[in-house]
């Protein structure tokens, strides 16, 4: 038996003890070895005390929220309108899919079209059931098939939960399609896969963003205002209820965040979505201006 490698640029981080890191063991053909590449040790930017004129590296994390994550689209549009550059982006669940699309240069307008197509086909389906997952794959994930996490226009960081070791791993390299497929898993698949969605353990990963060089960590949330489903599903209610509690705790630690508390559609519903998106646009204007102001203040410090 080969000893476990000791690598300073390891991937794993204990969800409860941030100084405990290990390289995850990957066995079998179902989990390609290149899916979990090493995280670079270099920082995006240096110490601001050494360069007062440098632009701060901004990280944006998109929280989970099933159908509600569509709210992030008008917010991304307003960030672009205000010329707020996002250097690092991350997300959980459907938020990870949106973060990945944005990192790889898919425009908010294109994302809006994909979500509109998804909403028309998925209306009567329960989240995470076979047909629902098939549509997620066909409409979103296959657009990213063959892409690598490291090949985007922005630096993309995605985490997964290793259910066997009870730890989170952070990925900045590797197979994007494989990684996002595991963001759609709420329970481990036995021997087939020990990896699953991270949002029942952590969502806004501020410490990891800072470690990777982010000077400002911002977050968007569509979950903590309410956790409601139009179709009774106790497992999903419990899963997202726990994620909501984690999000509430972690949001307060971020440099800046927006909690979209506009009356929201149920997590599995599209009823009232047009009105919801109009409200999201107003949140987007406020968030973009606050983040831009925060960046200017940071530069003056």
pLDDT at 172: 92
pLDDT at 83: 93
> What is the SS3 assignment for the chain?
CCCCCCCCCCCEEECCCCCCCCCCCCCCCCCCHHHCCCCCCCCCCCCHHHCCCCCCCEEEEECCCHHHHHHHHHHHHHHHHCCCCCCEEEECCHHHHHHHHHHCCCCHHHHHHHHHHHHHHHCCCCCCCHHHHHHHHHHCHHHHCCCEHHHCCCEECEEEEECCCCEEEEECCCEHHHHHHHHCCCCCCHHHCCEECCCCCCCCCHHHHHHCCCCEEEEEECCCCCCCCCCCCHHHHHHHHHHHHHHHHHHCCCCEEEECCCCCCCCCCCCCHHHHHHHHHHHHHHHHHHHHHHHHHHHHC
pLDDT at 123: 86
pLDDT at 26: 33
pLDDT at 186: 93
pLDDT at 203: 96
Closest CA to 96 of 199, 213, 218: 199
pLDDT at 239: 95
**Residue numbers of the chain with a pLDDT score lower than 50:** 1-46, 48, 50
């Amino acid at each position: 038996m080969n000893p476990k490698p000791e690598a300073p640029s390891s991937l794993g981080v204990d969800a409860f003890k941030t100084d405990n890191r290990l390289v995850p063991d990957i066995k079998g053909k179902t989990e390609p070895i290149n899916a979990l590449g090493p995280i670079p040790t270099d920082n995006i930017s240096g110490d601001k005390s050494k360069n007062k004129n440098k632009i701060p590296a901004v990280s944006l994390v998109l929280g989970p929220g099933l159908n509600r994550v569509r709210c992030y689209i008008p917010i991304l549009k307003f960030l672009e309108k205000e010329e707020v550059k996002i250097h690092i982006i991350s997300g959980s669940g459907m938020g990870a899919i949106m973060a990945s699309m944005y990192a790889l240069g898919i425009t908010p307008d294109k994302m809006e079209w994909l979500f509109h197509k998804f909403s028309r086909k998925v209306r009567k389906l329960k989240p995470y059931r076979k047909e629902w997952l098939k549509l997620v794959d066909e409409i979103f994930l296959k657009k990213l098939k063959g892409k690598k996490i490291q090949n985007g226009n922005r630096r993309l960081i995605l985490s997964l939960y290793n259910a066997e070791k009870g730890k989170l791993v952070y990925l900045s390299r590797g197979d994007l399609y494989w990684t996002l497929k595991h963001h759609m898993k709420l329970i481990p698949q036995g021997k087939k896969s020990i990896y699953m969605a991270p949002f029942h353990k952590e969502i806004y990963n501020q410490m990891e963003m800072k470690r990777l060089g982010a000077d400002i960590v911002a977050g968007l949330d569509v979950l903590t205002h309410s956790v409601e489903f139009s179709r009774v599903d106790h497992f999903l209610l419990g899963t997202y209820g726990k994620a909501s509690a984690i999000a509430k705790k972690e949001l307060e630690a971020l440099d800046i965040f927006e909690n979209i508390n506009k009356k929201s559609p149920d997590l599995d519903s599209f009823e009232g979505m047009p009105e919801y998106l109009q409200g999201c646009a107003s949140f987007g204007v406020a968030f973009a201006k606050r983040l831009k102001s925060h960046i200017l203040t940071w530069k003056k410090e």
